[in-house]
Structure 1
Amino acid sequence: IHPKEKVSGVQLVFTKLHAGGKFGQGNYEYSGGLHGVGASVTNALSEWLTVEVYRNKKVYKMSFHSRFNKRKNKIESGLPDGPLTEEPMSGNKKGSYIRFMPDANVFSETVFDLDTVEERLKQLAFLNRGVEITLIDERITMAEAKRTRMLFSTDEETENEEGEEGVENEEIIETEEVFEEQQGQQSLFAAFDQFASENEPYCVVFRFDGGISDYVKSLNDGKRRLYNIPIYHKTVKNDIQVEFSIQHTGEYRESMFSFVNNIPTPEGGYHEMGFRSGLTRVLNEYARSNGFLKEKDANFQGDDFSEGLSVVLSIKMANVQFEGQTKTKLGNTEARPAVEASVIEGFNAFKNVRGYKKVMEEIIKKAQGAAKSRIAAKTAKENARAKNSIDGLTLIGKLAACSGRKPELNEMFIVEGDSAGGTAKQARVRQFQSILPLRGKPLNVEKKKLAQILENEEIRTMISAIGAGIDPDFKLDKINYHKVIILSDADQDGMHIRCILLTFFFRYMRPLVNAGHVYIGMPPLYKVYKGDKVEYAYDDKELDEKIKIIGKGYQLQRYKGLGEMSADQLWETTMNPATRNLTQVTVEDAAKAERMITTLMGDKVEGRKEFLAKYANFNKRDAFIDKIEKTDKKEV
């Protein structure tokens, strides 16, 4: 019983705001919470919640419910069903068991998404080396999971293959384990319960004895790695625990994932600043002292060392200050010098490892190539600016710009093909809708350097139209449109174009995606009609519903391309804000998106073949053919 509040600790934590353990002295060394309200808010937003605490050979139980108070005419949430109960138990089990049901009166969606939960638990297992996390989903069986879900490979299956088709046959450096802490038993990249039968609930166990080094390896799955063993270091500076792991690849972009007290910080912060400054400093010192940089040569820039670099940075500290309630950016200035010093210390320790010089030479060679590309890209940018300098000269005849001057109201449709682009121009509302037709397939940026990308006319046109530049200089507050809508045909070519454009936005306009400004337009697949009665269906399931609405005697048309629709039809089905279907593009898990883009859009063909062989349904019946056959038989 709490001496001041006169209730049990369980009741206090689950019913009183700001009662979290982070506010007590010595309860937690580090905490990701800000206000100590997680447990109490979860209880308040749940239809019911039960707690079991195991300690001192006893089990303590308490339950809570939400109830409708007739007298007050309102729902009262998180009320205790009774006092905390106590029962003896055998054994020395310790821990807590909490179950809850989200309240449907509060949330429109109360079903937990397995992919989201699984990715977060996997991430936590990476960040907490050796901790075993078990996920069980009783909604699906092991057999169903193996048929329908992407399962992760083991570490043994992700090793590099020298001379693989489509990849330069460059020597892969063999190094010993960089630090003793990396040694140990093989990590588990999703170990499924070997003893579970096909009909038992889905169960996966995450445990990574390599910790964040295993995280880096998973990020680089399918990429050509310049050295096999990630560089790893862990230390404490000024009461801040710093842990990082890095590995360079043959890619052109950086993949950086940072965390504070296990909380992802996708917008970075002072810890990322410290990492970049430390890495730039220590690598420039090596390059200069070993003759890679002559006396008159300028230092490499930070971006030169970032090309192809995969990084996981995890720090733990007290009194965390995030910028904004969403905890996406670290605001503690003291994190910068602590991380910078840790990076320098880590590379100094790396000097004692066999293979150090070979690894460092590969890193510097990569930076030399990146510096040349940077200079070429700068020239390409200047040329692009010159071409676009006279009132956006390259956009004339391409972009049908809207007349509105408020970006928050404006939207731009990127439309596949001149024909559909012309129809879209007729259908649009000029006040707030712009149309940018694409001629042919855009460039797949995953396989190109920035200088090559900026030479592509379609890419330059998109950059100019959006108006905010590209990473790393992308300025979100400069965008001309708060909705950038990809509008392509519903066939394979259209899907390929969507993938190519999404890859470009993810790689070079990530803030645009993260802010929720990228959408996919959803034109209908079918038109069901009889006389003046018309219904549009956007998928096969909806087709059945629309056929029932129209009734017997219906006629059916399938749209193969946007160009088959008139301007009125395109407006009504796809462009009218009141009636259209848009899918907002979001990135729930950047690491997973990174792996998918590398697999599906990268150089390695084998990865795509394996993905398609495993997940593509080549035996699916064509719903349109089924309906036509049905129509012919019944003569409707």
Structure 2
Amino acid sequence: MAEKIQQGDYNEDSIRSLDWREHIRLRPGMYIGKLGDGSSPDDGIYVMIKEVIDNCIDEHTMGYGKNVELTIAEKSVTVRDFGRGIPLGKVVDVVSKINTGAKYDSKAFQKSVGLNGVGTKAVNALSTYFKVTAFRDGRQKTAEFQNGVLLKESKEKDTTEPNGTLVTFTPDETIFKNYHFINDYIENQLWNYCYLNAGLVINYNGKKYVSKNGLLDLLQRRTNADEIRYPIMHLKGEDVEIAITHNNDYGEDLYSFVNGQYTTQGGTHQQAFREAFVKVVRDFYKKDYEAADIRGSICAAISIRVQEPVFESQTKTKLGSLTVYDGGPTMRNFMVDFLNKELDNYLHKNPQTADALRKRIEQSERERKELAGIKKLANERAKKANLHNKKLRDCKFHYNDEAEGRNKEEIIEKRNQTTVFITEGDSASGSITKSRRVDTQAVFSLRGKPLNCYGLTKKVVYENEEFNLLQHALNIEDGLEGLRYNNIVLATDADVDGMHIRLLMLTFFLQFFPDLVKNGHLHILETPLFRVRNKKQTIYCYNETEKQEAIKKLGEKPEITRFKGLGEISPEEFARFIGDDIKLQPVMLLPETHIQQLLEYYMGKNTMQRQEFIIDNLKIELDLTEDVEHDIEEAKVEAVAEHISEEVAA
């Protein structure tokens, strides 16, 4: 009993104060969101790049410096801007003392994204090497750090360099395990900066990024000219810019920004736009259309600039409640006033666009009414199933949890980690269920091969029980606002059947929920194909090359196991493959990708083209003589061609 009291003691010795560096390294999620290895666009290494570039953008916004240079060589990142440069006497303080910065003074930085002086401190603390040099009025000063600890501070000296700041950092591999930079994610990040700052030039590893038309360029890059229903409407006002069109996809595709920050989780400004757009459209057509019909298939970009924005966390991915200016209108009223004037004027001046928008709304209305009956029955069925949903093993935290109260930081960190694994069969789901982290990892089990839904309408999502239960589990029926998991991971066997299931699920998401893919939520789980071991060591290999290297390393004929299915991997082993060292392959859509053309080619009935593609690209590796290899390759090509022909006939 005395021992229990001692363990539960809460006294002065229980209180511990961490310095800024220790706190950031102990709780990195509070400052940069989830850690990750670079396979997701919101992983910490990209947030670190953003935090440094944000300072360059704030300088540009204030009228100083039109160029930013970014260089990434292996795992080292260098950013150079040509703004005013950090005041030389404060170079060390600005990157290593919390609550030290210029952005508390609105005269120096108005409508900036970096408000509390934490960003570069977090980058410094989470880097094995961090170097900052300020160039100011012919003088320069440098400071170097390791994990946030000052190593060296130079004295001021003369320079011929133009004003600005140079930052170099290398993320700490003990925190960001096995990390790697994905170029497409960085390019998207840079393009967003350019769209929001017309005229800004960013040079990245020798490539130039610049936008002349702001959000109009963004939407042109994110849509396909032959798939949008009317020319993009581009509306601009003081501190607000909006671009709008509709396409033939399902759902809402919204890109929202505050003071140049991409708010991936939306917030009050995005919700204000959604409500204001509905109101203005109803008023213009003098018809009480359903909000879902007006916003269905919309593709829009919204950018606002405000003083003192209230973000939900340091990562600034969601805007909280605020007025546009002190004592001014609410965000909703501000957006309604702007669209009442600009959108209404645009539609009056462009009757063809107004007519195309009306037709798109009425098409959505017809589709919704056709779905109404089956949707009601399907949702009732799903609600009953959800009470005892054997397909879903849920987790404690969810992506749409409200972050508030004493545990706000923990909720934000856990929310970013939320993952649902979509598995095939009971054996695979059983292994993952037993080894998962129950607070942030859920499992949804498929029964056999799902339906190929290419070319089908959304009616199939409600008619097919499995698809309907999945959309309810993800909570994406009405868009991404209520998405329950940040990462949706396809976990299928690495065989032909597993690949087929993966393709069918990709088709489902691309056909009916493309914005889920466009926003970087969909991934494919990579698991090892081989286990190579001897009595002393076990090595897991993800490909043939790694297997051969492992055999060479272990020597003396080690035991080799080929994992044909996920169910063959024990829960104890599986835990390491979905834990800190998880390998996720992101499903990425390039802006120029035509989704319908892509699906038609691979999942439609144009089998002759597909047959030719397979024959042209089929590769067979055999350790045989040249003549025998040639004969076998010919036979296999003929077999594949015959199989495809039979499939088409069927």
Same fold by TM-score, threshold 0.5 exceeded? Answer: yes
Shift of 1:358: 1.0
Quote the residue 1:231 is aligned against.
233
Give the C-alpha shift of residue 232 in structure 1: 0.8
Which of 200, 224, 242 lines up with 1:221 in the alignment?
A: 224
d(CA) in 1 for partners of 2:89 and 2:431?
A: 68
CA drift of 1:621 comes to 6.4
1:66 aligns with 2:145: yes
Structure 2 CA distance for aligned equivalents of residues 125 and 617 of structure 1 = 40
Instruction: Identify if the C-alpha distance between structure 1 residues 468 and 63 changes in structure 2 by more than 3 Å, giving closer, same or farther.
Output: same
**Match 2:156 to one of 84, 87, 107:** 84
When residues 371 and 437 of structure 1 are mapped into structure 2, their CA distance, relative to the original with a 3 A threshold, is same
Residue 340 of structure 1 corresponds to: 336
Question: Does 2:532 match 1:543?
Answer: no
Is the 2:130–2:167 contact (alpha carbons within 8 Å) kept by the matching residues of 1? Answer: no
Q: Is the 8 A contact 2:476 2:482 kept in 1?
A: yes
Q: Note if 1:270 corresponds to 2:268.
A: yes
| Mapped partners of 2:583, 2:515: distance in 1 | 14
Classify the secondary structure of the residue corresponding to 1:22.
Answer: coil
1:361 pairs with 2:355: yes
How much has 1:219 moved relative to structure 2?
A: 0.8
Q: Give the residue type in structure 2 aligned to 1:119.
A: N
Aligned to 2:575, the other structure's residue is in SS state coil
Amino acid at match of 2:351: K
State the alpha-carbon separation in 2 of the partners of residues 251 and 385 from structure 1: 22
1:325 Cα deviation after fit: 2.9
Cα distance change of structure 1 residues 312 and 584 upon mapping to structure 2, 3 Å threshold: farther
Q: TM-score normalized by structure 2?
A: 0.64
3-state SS, counterpart of residue 245 of structure 2: strand
What runs of 5+ residues in structure 2 fail to find an aligned partner? 1-86, 324-329, 399-413, 627-650
Secondary structure at the residue paired with 2:168?
Answer: strand
* Distance in structure 2 (CA, Å) of the matches to 1:260 and 1:357: 31
* 1:442-499: CA deviation from partner (whole Å, max 9, x where unpaired): 3447x544323212233124346x385633387556x8xx997633232455335324
CA drift at 1:117: 2.7
Displacement after TM superposition at 1:83 (Å) = 2.6
Q: Partner residue of 2:479?
A: 472
Distance (Å, rounded) in 2 between the aligned partners of 1:26 and 1:423: 59
Matched, 1:486 2:558: no
Deviation of 1:85 after TM superposition, in Å, equals 1.9
Distance 2:168 2:396 in 1: 47
> 1 CA distance for matches of 2:395 and 2:207?
52
Match of 2:448 among 439, 462, 465: 439
Per the alignment, residue 38 of structure 1 pairs with 119
CA distance in 2, matches of 1:509, 1:245: 19
Q: What is the alpha-carbon distance in structure 2 between the residues aligned to residue 223 and residue 99 of structure 1?
A: 43
Contact kept in structure 2, 1:134 and 1:205, CA below 8 Å: yes
Question: Which residue of the partner structure matches residue 170 of structure 1?
Answer: none
Counterpart residue number, 2:631: none
Q: What's 1:13 paired with?
A: 94
SS at the partner of 1:35? coil
1:267 & 1:411 partners in 2: Cα distance? 16
Q: Residues 221 and 591 of structure 2 are in contact (CA less than 8 Å); yes or no, is this contact kept in structure 1?
A: no
Equivalent-residue separation in structure 2 for 1:426 and 1:98 (angstroms): 45
CA contact 1:213–1:245 (8 Å) conserved in 2: yes
Q: Where does the alignment leave 5 or more consecutive residues of structure 1 unmatched? A: 1-5, 68-74, 137-202, 294-298, 630-636
Report the aligned-residue RMSD. 4.9
> Could you tell me which residue of structure 1 aligns to residue 370 of structure 2?
376
Q: 1:452 aligns with which of 442, 454, 460?
A: 460
Residue 313 of structure 1: aligned partner: 302
1:258 to 247, 256, 259: 256
Offset at residue 366 of structure 1 (A): 0.6
Q: For the structure 1 residues 532 and 597, does the alpha-carbon distance in structure 2 shift closer, same or farther, using more than 3 Å as the test?
A: farther
Q: Is the 8 A contact 1:52 1:97 kept in 2?
A: yes
TM-aligned CA deviation for residue 40 of structure 1: 4.2
CA distance in 1, matches of 2:590, 2:354: 29
1:414-452 CA distance string (max 9 Å, x none): 443xxx54686699759989773433243447x544323
After superposition, residues 175-324 of structure 1 pair within 5 angstroms as: 203-221=206-224, 224-227=227-230, 229-236=231-238, 241-288=239-286, 293=287, 299-324=288-313
After superposition, residues 58-137 of structure 1 pair within 5 angstroms as 58=138, 60-66=139-145, 77-78=149-150, 80-87=152-159, 93-102=162-171, 108=177, 112-136=181-205
Separation of aligned partners in 2, 1:486 and 1:44 = 34
1:159 aligned partner = none
Matched-pair contact (CA < 8 Å) for 1:528–1:555: yes
Q: What SS does structure 2 have at the residue aligned with 1:490?
A: coil
Contact 2:229 2:248 in 1 (8 A): yes
Q: Give the 3-state SS of the residue equivalent to 2:165 in structure 1.
A: strand
The one-letter amino acid paired with 1:451 is K
How much has 1:215 moved relative to structure 2? 0.5
Given that 1:522 and 1:580 are in contact with CA atoms closer than 8 Å, whether structure 2 keeps it comes out as: no
Please give the alpha-carbon distance, in whole angstroms, between the structure 2 residues aligned to 1:210 and 1:490.
45
Instruction: Give the letter aligned to residue 494 of structure 1.
Output: G
AA paired with 1:457?
Answer: E
Residues 343 and 493 from structure 1, CA distance in 2 versus in 1: closer, same or farther, beyond 3 angstroms?
farther
SS in 2 for 1:8: helix
Cα shift readout 1:339-389 (whole Å, capped 9, x = no counterpart): 221122212331564xx1111111011101111222333322211134456
TM-superposed CA distance for 1:300, in Å, is 1.0
| TM-superposition CA deviations, 1:481-540 (whole Å, max 9, x none) | x99763323245533532443565686598899898x77454543466899999763322
| Cα distance, 1:318 vs structure 2 | 0.7
Amino acid at match of 1:471: D
2:326 aligned partner:
none
Contact 1:126 1:215 in 2 (8 A): yes
| 1:88–1:544 distance in 2 versus 1, CA, 3 Å | closer
Once residues 627 and 13 of structure 1 are traced to their aligned partners in structure 2, the CA distance between those partners, rounded to angstroms, is 65
Q: Show the counterpart of 1:50.
A: 132
1:584 shift after superposition: 6.7
CA displacement 1:116-156 (0-9 Å, x = unmatched)? 332211211111112221111xxxxxxxxxxxxxxxxxxxx
- Give 1:580-599 correspondences, 5 Å limit: 583=582, 598=595
Distance 1:270 1:78, change over 3 A: same
| 1-structure distance, mates of 2:169, 2:210 | 26
SS of corresponding position for 2:570: helix
- What letter matches 1:230 in structure 2? I
Task: Tell me what 2:409 maps to.
Answer: none
Cα displacement (A) at 1:619? 7.6
Q: Distance in 2 between matches of 1:10 and 1:352?
A: 54
Tell me if the contact between 1:514 and 1:587 (Cα under 8 Å) persists in the aligned partners.
no
Q: Secondary structure at the match of 1:268?
A: coil
Distance in 2, Cα, partners of 1:43 & 1:570: 40
In structure 2, relative to structure 1, the CA distance for the partners of 1:66 and 1:627 (3 Å cut) is: farther
Does the residue aligned with 1:98 lie in a helix, a strand or coil?
strand
Q: CA deviation at 1:211?
A: 1.3
For 1:525, the equivalent position in structure 2 comes to 529
Please state which structure has a larger fraction of its residues in helix: 2
Q: 2:187 and 2:520 mapped to 1: Cα distance?
A: 24
AA matched with 2:100: A
State the distance in 2 between where 1:449 and 1:541 align. Answer: 43
The Cα offsets for residues 557-577 of structure 1, whole Å up to 9 and x where unpaired, read as 756x53xx8x6x343587x42
Alpha-carbon contact 1:513-1:585 (below 8 Å) kept: no
CA contact (8 A) 1:216 1:312 kept: yes
